[in-house]
Amino acid sequence: MHDPDAVPLLDRTARRAIAHRYAGRFDRGYAQGKLAGDPVYAAVARMLAAAPPLPLLDIGCGMGLLGQYLHACGLLHGYLGIDFDARRIDAGRAAASALSPPLQLQCGDAAELPAFRGHVALLDMLHYLPAPRQAALLREAAARLAPGGLLLIRNVLREANWRFHATRAEEWFLRVSGQMRVGAQHYPDADEIRAPLAALGLAVAIRPLYGRTPFNSYLAVARQPG
């Protein structure tokens, strides 16, 4: 296991190298902006650096940016990304084609997860499901944790503050501009994430993770006892 503070998080050159694996100006620009401005990838890398070396299931993986980031940090021990947006999966596969070890990206719905044992990530996707499906997905994700495995959830939480309203406005824009295939269905509050996991005996720690974004984002981490 590594010392989390000793993990070299990616500098500008490394982030640019990742972005340039994506074809087309839009995806490249998106990757570069996202890696520069969103603290989630470094936060996940720090958590995984201090956890047992296990494969990662990335649910709602988009273009596989998390896999690319962790690969560049030397923190991948197998990666399976799943997303139902075929365009994003194709873009992610093309970008990952030169990597060794390879990233596996699969087109599919989070409702039908494959068998898996390891760590699980759910970054910015839970709110695209209605409330009952969110609780079900949290249980399915937890069922795929290996002993010592981490379930890493980043999501906007429903709170009465300006950040929450800024997030809703951005989600509206993503939907009407066609960047998201589905619109937000339900914004969970902290208890809606904690309760289904606590019922399975997992301890859940939740903390803000805004970085330089205006969004009401939090990181929830649940650990399977080792």
Ligand X SMILES: C[S@@+](CC[C@H](N)C(=O)[O-])C[C@H]1O[C@@H](n2cnc3c(N)ncnc32)[C@H](O)[C@@H]1O
Of 181, 190, 195, 200, the one binding ligand X (CB under 6 A) is 181
CB 86: neighbour CB atoms within 10 A? 10
What the block records as the tokens of 120 is 């699980």
Tell me the backbone φ, ψ of residue 209, rounded to 5 degrees. -145, 70
What's CA 79's distance to the chain center, in Å? 12
| Residue 138 binds ligand X (CB under 6 A) | no
Select 130 or 201, whichever has its Cβ closest to ligand X: 130
Of 86, 182, 199, 205, the one binding ligand X (CB under 6 A) is 182
Output the DSSP codes for 102-163: PPEEEE--TTSPPP--BEEEEES-GGGS-HHHHHHHHHHHHTTBPTT-EEEEEEE---SSHH
Span near ligand X by CB under 6 A; candidates 96-104, 122-130, 156-164, 211-219: 122-130
Select 109 or 191, whichever has its Cβ closest to ligand X: 109
| Residue 88 binds ligand X (CB under 6 A) | yes
| Residue 60 binds ligand X (CB under 6 A) | yes
**Least distance between ligand X and beta carbon 109 (Å):** 4
What the block records as the tokens of 77 is 């021990």
| Residue 85 binds ligand X (CB under 6 A) | yes
| Cα separation, 175 vs 184, whole angstroms | 8
| Cα separation, 140 vs 53, whole angstroms | 21
**Least distance between ligand X and beta carbon 201 (Å):** 26
**Size of site (CB under 6 A) for ligand X:** 17
What the block records as the tokens of 165 is 């309203």
Of 21, 51, 57, 83, the one binding ligand X (CB under 6 A) is 83
**Least distance between ligand X and beta carbon 152 (Å):** 11
Q: Which residues bind ligand X (CB under 6 A)?
A: 60-62, 65-66, 83-85, 88, 109-110, 123-125, 128, 181-182
